[in-house]
Amino acid sequence: VAVSEADAKAIVLEHAGIDESVVVLYQSKIDMDGGRQVYEIEFYAGDYEYEYKVDCTSGEILKYERDKGRP
């Protein structure tokens, strides 16, 4: 794993344009997707739920979703 969990968190928060102070129920785990290790990251901010997949080697965002929904 070349990208730390903290780096992956910073990548997704910057992509979402969100300050860490407004994030709630943050979860991150490493999983396999298409033969490569990815971080699966989920969190809530404001009125939205965010879901990301980030490549553990490159830090590339492979998938993201933002859905209306509160915890």
Q: Which residues 6+ apart lie within 8 Å of 11 measured at CB?
A: 3, 54, 59, 61
- pTM, full prediction: 0.93
For CA atoms 35, 38, 44, 47, give the dihedral sign. negative
By the 8 A CB rule, do 3 and 12 touch?
no
At 17-70, the pLDDT tens digits run: 999 999 999 999 999 999 999 999 999 999 999 999 999 999 999 999 999 987
